Each structure stands twice: as C-alpha cells, then as structure tokens.
Structure 1
Amino acid sequence: MDINSIRLVIDVVRQASFAGAARQRDVDPSSVSRMIAAVEEQLGFRIFQRTTRSMSLTEAGERYVRRAELALQELDAAAEEATALGTVPRGRLRVTASVAFGNRCLVPLLPKFRTEFPELQLELILTDSNLDLVSEGIDLAIRLGPGVSGDLVGAKLFDTRYRVCASPAYLDGVSRPKRPADLSALSCLLFTFPGFRSRWLFRNRRGDVSEVAVHGDLLLSNALALRDCARAGLGPALLPDWLIDEDLTGRKLVDLFPDWQVTATTFDTAAYVLYPNRAFLPVKVRRTIDFLRRHLVKQTTRARR
C-alpha cells in the first residue's frame, strides 16, 4: 500500500467526509471513494462505517488510523531530518492571520519572504475566523490575545497594547475628553467582538483600574474598517498599536489618554505564532517562525520609538 493512500485515509478522518477530503485535494469525491474502497480491500476490513447520512470509523478503523498517524509522523520526521542539512525550505506553506494583522504586518514582509525563501509556495489565508489548523491543513497561525490555548503550541512574537484614538478633525468639533470617564458622553466607534462594545478598562500609573461604559451607533467587525472610520472623524475608537503606530506618528490619529493603559479584555496581550502540536516541526515551519520573529519584532520595536 502506498503512503499517499494512507494519507488519504487520514485526510478523510480529519475532514469527516469523503467530500471534504476531495475538496482539500481538489479531486472528484468519487475518486476518493474508490481509493478508500481499494485500501479497505487491501487491508481486509472496513475503515469507515458509511450510511446515506453519516460516516464514522469502525473499531478496527479507529485502531488503524491511530497507529497510521504515528507511523506517518515518524516517516515525515525521518525524511525531514535526512534532507534538512544543506537544503532550503521548499513546498507549500499555509499561514493564517486576521485580515487587519495580515494586511498591516504580513503583506509588507512578502518581498523579503520571497527573497529569503524562493522555493516556498506561500498560501496566506486572511480571515477573522479562528480556523482549525489540523482540519484545514494549516501550518501556522498568528493570533492576538492573552495567551496560547487548546492543543496548539507556539511562541510569543511581541506584546501588544491598545489606545483610544480619534482624528484631529473629530477633536476640533467636540470637547476633548480629559478623563476616560468622559468617553461615556461620546458616541464611540465599537468593535463587534464580545467585551469590546460595552465597556473599556483603563489602568493608571499607580495600577488602579477603572471601567468605563461606552456606547455608539457604528459597530464594525473589522479592525481596518474601525481604524479608517476613526481617521475619517467619525468618533473615538479602541485600536491596537501595531495597526495605528504610523497614524499616531503622522498625526492622522491622536492618542486621547497616553498616560493610561487601555484594554477591553486583559492588559497582558500579545501576538503569537501557533502551530499544531506535532511530533516534529518541519524545516519550512521552523524557518518561517524565525523569519517572523526577526522582522515583526524589529518592525514593532522601530514603530514604538
């Protein structure tokens, strides 16, 4: 039995359907069905229990898949170790990040990435949904938040901070808020994520935390759109520093409370690069993580000076 057939079985399990595995491989579902049937005939037992409405692993199938996954990991590790020395990363690399972070922080790095890794085929998936890395066949994810959770592993790229910002034009037309509590009298621009649209938290230099209720008539689900609306003078917005550093330097936006730390969730947030918890880390993934650490940390450090 060839390795590709075993990988197909694993793909069907992860996608929970023949059709899902077919979409992932860009082949006809009928060909996947025929290949699985051929594998089962070779093995002499059914891997999948199929009905018109559902599909599940048989008991024998569960045991086979569990051992097969381990065997494939060992084979991949052996091939990786044997070819790593003296070679450059090659093949396809799938990376996902939010739309705003991808456009602001990753897309500008693509020329350097292409120069450093000319034999890598990069698929950059920008979405504000947290995709399942295993079922979607994704190698790396960059996510923003308080820490790593679930079955993923990874490393911190850089700490993030939030600012309450507004445009100079907006501030010319209102009484500029002097204290965080003054925001309650203004119509703010709100992010639709839970926790971001009803109250913001402020911490002063003594460490005292205060909660400020916020409201507004304009709610947006994308950080880029939120920033653009703030720049257009539509109101104050809570925005991450990696998105607005150039706007603050260029005076397109003004930090309303530079002496306060601000957040909607927790004050300790960061950008993390995450990957599935595998027995080994492919060279292409390891080298990409090193690349992101070098350039993103340098990028954010320069912007904060």
Structure 2
Amino acid sequence: MHLKAHRYFAMVAATGSFAATARHFQVPASSVSRFIAALEKELGQQLLYRNTRAVSLTDAGERYFLQVREVLELLDAANEDAAGKGSDIRGLVKLNAPVALGRLHLAHLVERLHAQYPELIVELMLSDLYIDPVLEGVDITIRVGHLENSALIGRKICDQRYVLCASAAYLAKHGAPHTPQELRAHSCLVYKGQAGMQRWHFRRQPDHQLEVIDVQGPLRSNNAEALVEAALGGMGIVLFPTWLFSEAYFGEGHLVQLLPEWTGSIEPVTSQIHLISPENRLRSKKVRAVSQFLLDAIGSPPYWDDITVQASRH
C-alpha cells in the first residue's frame, strides 16, 4: 500500500474534508479521493462515508484510523530524529476538557500555543462526559476530580481550591454567614449533576473535624456557570473552584468571599485537576511539547488561584 494513501486518509479522518486535506498536501482533491479509494479497495473495507456536505468515518474506518495514526506518528518522529528536526512541532493534537474549563481557560491557552507552534493543528473537544481517550483517539485530556487507576499516564496540574461567595447585594439584604452551619439558613445555589446534589464540606484547620452541610436554595443546576451568573445577580451563595470565577468578579467587588478562614470543598478530600494521556501518545514529541506548554502556562499554583488574593481584599 502507498504511504501517501495512509497520510491522506489520516488527514481526511482528522479534518473531515477532502478539500482541506488537498490544501494541506498541495495536491488536487481528486488525487486524495483516488488514493483513498485505492486504499479501501485493497483493504476490502469502506473507511469513509461520503456525501455532499461532510465526510465521516465508518466503524471500520475509526478502528483503522487509530492504528494508522499511531504508526504515522512513530514514523514522523523517526524521520525527524534522523533528519535532525526533533525540535519541530507540527501536525494534529487532540485535546479534551470539561466544557467550562475549556471555554474559560483552554481556549485562550490554545491561542498562545498556536503562537509558539504555528504549524500545530489543535482539535479541542469540550465535554463533561468521562471519555476513554484511547478509544476516542485523544492525545491529552484535562480531567477534573480524582484520577482512577488506568493505563493512562497522569500529571497533576493542581489541587482544586474552592471559594464560597455571594454578591454584595445579597449580603446587604440577608447578611453574611459566620459559620458553615449558618449556611442552612441562607439561599444556596447548588450544583446537581449525575451524582446528585452536591454537599458542601468545610474544615477550619487541616486536622479539625470535617463539617458537612446539606444546603438548600431557590436554584439548582447541572451547569456551574449558570449558578455563578445567578450569584452575581444576587440570588444566593455559591461554592465553586477558583477556575470558574473571573478575577474581575472580586477585584471590582461584584462578589464577596465568605468564610475565608475555612477550607471548603464538595468532597471530603481534596480533589485535583490532572493532565492525562495514553502511554503510547507520550512517545510523540508534539504531545509531550503541548503537555509541557499547558503545565507551564497554568503554573503551580495555577494562575486562576490569584482570584483569592482579590477576594481577600473585600
């Protein structure tokens, strides 16, 4: 089989477009179509569904793409090493992240990533579902929460820090709680996901007993950003990780931190954010480069924890 056919197929699978693939390789679209048709004939399998609007992978095509992609990555890495171009970072990298984290942070980090590696193509997929990166062919996944044992290689980005807060308007009307127990008498805006209603956990000191509070209020949602907007509007109190808040919310006095001497969370133990990849993907220099870029750009502690500095001033 011709190597060009595999490269054309992999690019069509990644972009969903014969035209984009033709532009990338600077060949006529008819050549791309002809090579892939020959590949399908030789394999005896249809790899792509074709229609006037889009191109998508068949089930056989998805399985073949995952295998071919890894082989091409290894071949490119070997060619770069042999040619002394190991520092070149180019090609496709697939990222997956939760919706809010991706929208609020990864989108602008990808802009900086492109400025540093202009020949890199990033496919950013945002979903709150726990995907299998191996089955989905994802190079790097940002996972919030506890990292279960798996065949994935994880690097901790940070521990999540939570902020309990409400708008100045809400506090002017209802007053501020002085202890976690007093939250039961307040309007709390609570996240309700697949695991049910969140419970809020507080500790005064690391060695102190944990206080678990079942809070109630006028609004519950499976969308954290909607709850933050409701808090900004004076509807109640929220408890969320620092990365969900804009620094301007506290710096300009829109939100006020509550119970700053307490450590709050939604679980009994500290949860983390990890960057994970299948072991075979870490052989790729571009995947390692993107992973390191994200770790460096986010920092330790993460830059989004700076909002707590602003919050402590109000």
Q: How high is the TM-score relative to the length of structure 2? A: 0.72
Task: Indicate how the Cα distance of structure 1 residues 121 and 74 shifts in structure 2: closer, same or farther if over 3 A, else same.
Answer: closer
- Does the CA contact (< 8 Å) of 1:197 and 1:215 recur in 2? no
1:166-209 Cα offsets, whole Å, 9 max, x none, are 11111111132221111222232111225562521111114210
Unaligned segments of structure 2, at least 5 residues: 19-33, 46-58, 61-66, 310-314
Q: Is the 8 A contact 2:193 2:222 kept in 1?
A: yes
- What is the aligned partner in structure 2 of residue 93 from structure 1? 93
- Paired with 1:109 and 1:84, the residues of 2 have a C-alpha distance of 29
Aligned AA for 1:263? S
Within 2, Cα distance between the matches of 1:189 and 1:84? 56
Q: What is the match of residue 274 of structure 2? A: 272
Give SS of 1:85's match: coil
Aligned to 1:167: 167
Q: What is the one-letter code of the residue matched to 1:243?
A: L
Counterparts of 2:297 and 2:162 in 1: how far apart (Å)?
21
Deviations 1:122-162 (CA, angstroms, capped at 9, x unpaired): 22222222233223222111111123543321211122111
Count of aligned residue pairs for this structure pair: 276
Deviation at 1:23, TM superposition (A): 7.1
The aligned residue for residue 282 of structure 1 is: 284
Equivalent in 295, 299, 303 of residue 303 of structure 2: 299
Give distance in 1, aligned partners of 2:260 and 2:287: 38
Matches within 5 A, 1:19-30: 26=16
Relative distance call for 1:37 and 1:201 in structure 2 (3 A) is same
Say what the alpha-carbon RMSD is for the aligned residues: 3.7
Q: What SS does the corresponding residue of 2:136 show, helix, strand or coil?
A: coil
| Range 178-187 or range 228-237, more displaced | 178-187
State the Cα distance separating 1:281 from its structure 2 match.
Answer: 2.4
Percent of paired sites with the same residue: 30
Q: Is the 8 A contact 2:74 2:284 kept in 1?
A: no
| Alpha carbons of structure 1 residues 282 and 80: separation in structure 2 relative to 1, 3 Å | farther
Q: Could you say which residue in structure 2 is the equivalent of 1:210? A: 211
Does the aligned pair in 2 maintain the 1:193–1:221 contact within 8 Å? yes
The offset of 1:116, in angstroms, is 0.5
1:117 and 1:213 mapped to 2: Cα distance?
A: 48
Quick one: which amino acid aligns to residue 26 of structure 1?
G
Q: 1:229 to 1:147 in 2, by over 3 A?
A: same
Matched, 1:190 2:194: no
Which TM-score applies when normalising by structure 1?
A: 0.74
Task: State the distance in 1 between where 2:270 and 2:84 align.
Answer: 37
Counterpart position of 2:233: 232
